Structure 1
């Protein structure tokens, strides 16, 4: 048990425990220092992750934990995104009596997401999904005195209970077929003759189970409610970070399956349904946070395109990781602006914003254009890599569907941009007092610009990542 291989995860665990103890013994007005502790734990975890970079890709802890380029890259994206979420939170949570405990939940949820991305064993995967879910349910309903928050939390919990059950059933069936839970042993057992009907059922259950964390069809219905009803920093977390771990976990799982199992057709169908449903539903939204929730659903459909062509295109994994990083940056920047504006959600609240709050309006516009995929923003390069690997993999029809959906998405993003630029505002702009939310918004905006300018370097950085298996 080489403890050094999981030092980043240990730092998050110890940080969460320290925050719980700290919040138990200090006054509420000092709970904002828990955010500092969370940032220190995340920073330490990121530093330890960087220190692991460059080593030989391998499986550790008896093969249940992956230390490869995909796991490390996704871990870095998750930790940076988590730091931005923490930075958005202190002013928003200032008056909540459970302010300090909030950061412990964030760290535990981050740990669950990292476990999903690094799992090389089906039981480890289940553990990561459950840890992420259990820590995320309270985040969704943290404002328990507000009816939309309770509805969001209940819907999130019920869908999670169903899909986590399906995931566990799939893992049990897979164990019955192969006699093992480790990915290398499963891949070796499936290479020989096995019951293909049972394997297809197991595959479908596992894929459907992971669609919950991805917010992909058919387990997507919680996303718009959570985006609207959760605390805005928690909504930023739940719309972005879990799907990074789930996408990598799904890619790692399907890479085990023999070619005669119809997993590509299953994932491609889910991809089309997810991006189409998300974009069509977003067209009718008049609430900005709910619109961003449906947009997040559609983005999951795009991410699944890279998984469809795994094993066919050599750049499928780099494209997946790059797209997830670009999406996370843009979506977090958009929610950082919403947080800065005290969670204002009606489209009318954004009318004339470019004149009264030009910096916030600029960051929001840039983030929305990046989500569309407008050059030279980082989102453009993320989608370009997706389209390229999809075409290389022989799925031109899927790339065409994605292009059509991208054009459709432009319309509802412009429904936010146009009033900001050309509308007139009747009331003053009210923002959160303090520097935390403003700084998080500024950092997210800078990351958007830097990501676009350094897209070539980032693509080279991710271009050689592979699974250890």
Structure 2
């Protein structure tokens, strides 16, 4: 059991502990140093992960997979978390618990990394629980604000139910199949009703992390009520890990046709409900939250065809990468506007805050899939994989939902560009501006370097 196999995760863990200790020792006005420490630790984790790229083996008695998907998660999760860290110093500058926020953020990122690389159901449970428990704290971090407390409570209640169902599902699968190890379960999961029920319950726990129907209700509340850096993190990072974990699970049981059908139905329901619910939102943060739900629906298209076509996994990873960058870009624009939520406050934004307006427009264009933005390429890859697998009806539903989503994105961008200027929006500035620029540049680079990135994505998983 070489400890070095988990060096990226250990780097995040040690940085989280160090950030917590530093926050205890420093005066509140110096807690911004914890942000620098957190970003440095995450960068180190990415560097170690890059050095381990190309590994293809199971480690720690087969409970953790070192493969292409794990490498992708080890790069994407810390990388996007750094952008969330960058939004935080100015946002929490007057919060007495400023420094502790970074420890919670890192512990939650660690849970996501553990979830993405899990090759055993017990390891999966551990990663999900670590990600969830810390997520509850992040969602309700503004404990003096009723909306934030409501978001945290709803996240906790939905999560408690979903995680309980997850554990029951693991018990059922372990009891009927005799193992929790993916290498043992691969292709050998019995198709009896109890095992299929157990798998469906495990899927329910992962649907919660993804924000998919029917355990999606926390997403718009967290997007609206959590601190903007936490909202950006919680609507992206758990989804990245949950998508990989869900793909691994569905690929384990190619002989159980009910699982892909269930995922396809949930995909259609999630994208449709997310888009319909976003249509008349007057709060931009809730609109982004419902948009996040719909994006989960699109991602599930690739999971529904897991193992059926070779392009399924690359399409999933490519789409989730672009979605994560665009979603954090949208929240960075909101953070730059000091959390401005009322849609009327965005009228004439292009004149008072041109950078924030352009960033928001590009993020929304990526969500819709308007060429040549990378979001178009990600959606195209999803549609192609779905059509090749014979699920034409799901691709048609996705296209219809994409057209529908144009309406509510234009409700924000249209007035922001063409309406008369209202009172100039306040700016937050500082490192928020750095995160905004970084996310914007990365989104554009992803568009330009798409072919090289696509070629580097893995086509298969362990075991």
CA contact (8 A) 2:310 2:459 kept: no
Runs of 4+ residues over 3 Å off in structure 1: none
Q: Which residue of 2 aligns with 1:410?
A: 406
Which residue does the alignment assign to 1:141?
140
Q: Which residue of 2 aligns with 1:325?
A: 321
After superposition, residues 58-457 of structure 1 pair within 5 angstroms as 58-187=57-186, 189-190=188-189, 194=190, 196-433=192-429, 435-457=430-452
8 Å CA contact 1:34–1:100 kept in 2: the answer is: yes
Q: Is the 8 A contact 2:188 2:253 kept in 1?
A: no
SS of residue in 1 equivalent to 2:235: helix
The more displaced of 128-137 and 69-78 is: 69-78
1:426 Cα shift? 2.7
* Aligned counterparts of 1:311 and 1:21: Cα–Cα separation in 2: 45
Say whether the 8 Å CA contact 2:119–2:181 is kept in structure 1: yes
How many aligned positions are there?
463
Give me the whole-angstrom Cα distance separating, in 2, the residues matched to 1:149 and 1:438.
24
Contact 1:68 1:465 in 2 (8 A): no
Gaps in structure 2 of 5+ consecutive residues: none
* Distance in 2 of aligned mates of 1:104 and 1:466: 33
Q: Does the Cα contact within 8 Å between 2:254 and 2:307 map onto a contact in 1?
A: no
Q: Name 2:15's counterpart in structure 1.
A: 15
Q: SS at the partner of 1:432?
A: coil
Mapped to 2, the partners of 1:429 and 1:335 lie a distance apart of 15
TM-score, normalisation: structure 1: 0.97
Given that 2:191 and 2:256 are in contact with CA atoms closer than 8 Å, whether structure 1 keeps it comes out as no
Residue range with higher mean Cα deviation, 418-427 or 245-254: 418-427
User: TM-score scaled by structure 2?
Assistant: 0.99
CA distance in 1, matches of 2:280, 2:187: 48
Matches of 1:261 and 1:379, distance apart in 2: 30
Please report how far the alpha carbon of residue 188 of structure 1 lies from its aligned counterpart in structure 2 after TM superposition: 5.5
Check conservation: 1:12, 1:108, Cα contact below 8 A. yes
Q: How many Å separate the matches in 2 of 1:37 and 1:280?
A: 41
State the partner residue of 1:29.
29
CA distance in 1, matches of 2:350, 2:270: 32
Contact 1:338 1:344 in 2 (8 A): yes
Separation in 1, partners of 2:73, 2:422:
44
Distance 1:465 1:6 in 2: 23
Contact 1:177–1:195 (Cα < 8 Å) also in 2: no
1:296-353 Cα offsets, whole Å, 9 max, x none, are: 0000000000011111110100000000000001110000000010000111111101
Query: How big is the shift at 1:54?
Result: 2.0
- Any gaps of 5 or more consecutive residues in structure 1? none
Conserved? CA contact 1:223–1:239, under 8 Å: yes
Contact (CA 8 Å) 2:247, 2:303: kept in 1 or not? yes
Is the 2:345–2:422 contact (alpha carbons within 8 Å) kept by the matching residues of 1? no
Distance 1:10 1:289 in 2: 34
**C-alpha displacement of 1:202:** 0.7
Per-residue deviation, residues 429-459 of structure 1 (Å, max 9, x unmatched): 21014x2001100111111111111111111
What is the distance in 2 between the residues matched to 1:325 and 1:79? 12
Q: 1:259 deviation in Å? A: 1.6
| Alignment match, 1:48 | 48
Deviation at 1:195, TM superposition (A): 5.4
